[in-house]
Amino acid sequence: MEFRHLRCFLALAEELHFGRAAARLAMTQPPLSLNIQQLEASVGAPLFVRNSRGVALTPAGQAFVPRARALLEAAGAAAREAREVAQGVSGQLRVGFAGTVLYRGLPQILRGFAQRHPRLKLVLREMSSSDQLIDLQHQRLEAGFVHTTRVPPGCSQVLVSRQAFVACVPAGHALARKRRLAPAALAGEPFVAISRAVSPDYHDRLLALCADHGFEPDVRFELRHWLSVVSVVAQGLGVSLVPAALQQAGLPGAAFVPLQGDSPTYETHCLWRDGGESAALAAFLDVVRG
């Protein structure tokens, strides 16, 4: 049974006249008759009664009409979906992101993408940068927003945002009243840091910043999420250096103070695998690039 058999069957079932059905299909009557015979042989039952009075559907033919119509409609829908996915009109993208991107860049990208490509579905997963790199390499993500400069081979990247680090201290701490402070002012304070396993780049860079200012931080907490870092500081349990965008989190009990002098910047990059750029991913990257 082939789709051409179904098209011939439905045309004849609706016209109940070989001549009109053949004309509708832009063919002559002999090939139409052949297609109907082949279909009946495939089904194993006569679908039409042919006599001097004309053509009529058999009970088997009447039962077959909705099924044949559904098969053709499903085939048409599958073909349309395949074309739209190939063209980047519809489909699905799996995108990873580190939590701080919610405060710097990602919401604007998502709104712009939804407006321009309403039929493309994004499945978003909050993950550490290191976990995103693993999932990108194993093709479990199409793109990721990471905070690392350690881009693995076979991946491309684009810079999404760059921001300064600020001191994060309890709101009741004496340092909270400073307009600006030197990193050395945090020496001797219990320190809250992002885990090296989660973000090795920034863990090491912040320790290096402290070393450049003459002290080794007394790290009491190593946490997996920046919001957890701010939450611990807000409870009065330590101080930290955090990306400036976390000021937007609005957690009570935490104060943010700009740093004096130069300090490392916190960069967000969008990564994707080379050679895996589908039409949908290309559309997403157009929005990311702005």
pLDDT of residue 31: 93
Residue 143 and residue 187 in one domain: no
Q: Is 158 within 8 Å of 289 (Cβ atoms)?
A: yes
155 and 173: one domain? no
- The answer to whether 239 touches 167, Cβ cutoff 8 Å, is yes
Tell me, rounded to whole angstroms, the distance of Cα 85 from its chain centroid.
15
Please give the pLDDT value at position 47.
Answer: 95
Q: Give, for all 290 residues of the chain, the pLDDT tens digit.
A: 789 999 999 999 999 999 999 999 999 999 999 999 999 999 999 999 988 778 999 999 999 999 999 999 888 877 777 776 666 555 789 999 988 888 878 999 999 999 988 888 899 999 988 889 999 989 999 999 998 777 788 899 999 988 899 999 999 999 999 999 999 999 999 999 988 888 888 888 888 889 999 999 999 999 988 899 999 999 999 999 999 989 988 889 999 999 998 877 888 999 999 886 688 898 899 999 98
Same-domain status, 27 and 70 = yes
Specify whether 130 is located in the same domain as 209.
no
pLDDT at 275: 81
Instruction: State the Cα–Cα distance between residues 264 and 278, nearest whole angstrom.
Output: 35
Residue 269: per-residue pLDDT: 92
* pLDDT at residue 266 in the model: 85
Residues 285 and 147 in one domain: yes
> Distance between CA atoms of 58 and 46, rounded to whole angstroms?
7
β-pair partners for 181: 259
236 with 283, same domain: the answer is no
pLDDT at 5: 93
DSSP bridge pairs for 163: 266
Distance of CA 127 to the CA centre of its chain: 12
Q: pTM above the 0.85 mark?
A: no
Going by C-alpha positions, the residue among 168, 148, 147 that lies closest to residue 242 is 168
Cα separation, 106 vs 189, in Å, equals 33
Shared domain check, 102 and 80:
no
Shared-domain flag, residues 189 and 202 = yes
Strand, helix or coil for residue 142: coil
Q: Is 96 in the same domain as 119? A: yes
Give the pair of three-digit tokens for residue 22: 């053949």
Long-range contacts from 245-253, C-beta under 8 angstroms, 24+ separation = 245/100, 245/103, 245/104, 245/163, 246/100, 246/103, 246/168, 247/166, 248/103, 249/103, 251/227, 252/171, 253/170, 253/171
**What pLDDT does residue 141 have?**
95
Alpha carbon distance, N-terminus to C-terminus of the chain: 50
| Predicted pLDDT of residue 76 | 82
**Domain assignment of residue 285, given as a range:** 91-159+268-289
* Count of domains observed in the chain: 3
CA distances from 193 to 20, 59, 116, 219, 223 (A): 79, 76, 39, 7, 6
The CATH number that applies at residue 190 is 3.40.190.10
Give the span between the Cα atoms of 48 and 58, in whole angstroms.
5
* Strand runs labelled E in the chain: 48-51, 54-57, 91-97, 120-126, 143-146, 155-170, 190-194, 218-223, 240-243, 254-258, 265-273
| Residue 254 CB contacts under 8 Å (≥ 6 apart), including other chains | 168, 169, 170, 171, 230, 231, 233, 234
Q: What per-residue confidence (pLDDT) applies to 88?
A: 59
Residues 50, 128: one domain?
no
Boundary residue ending a domain (87, 116, 143) = 87
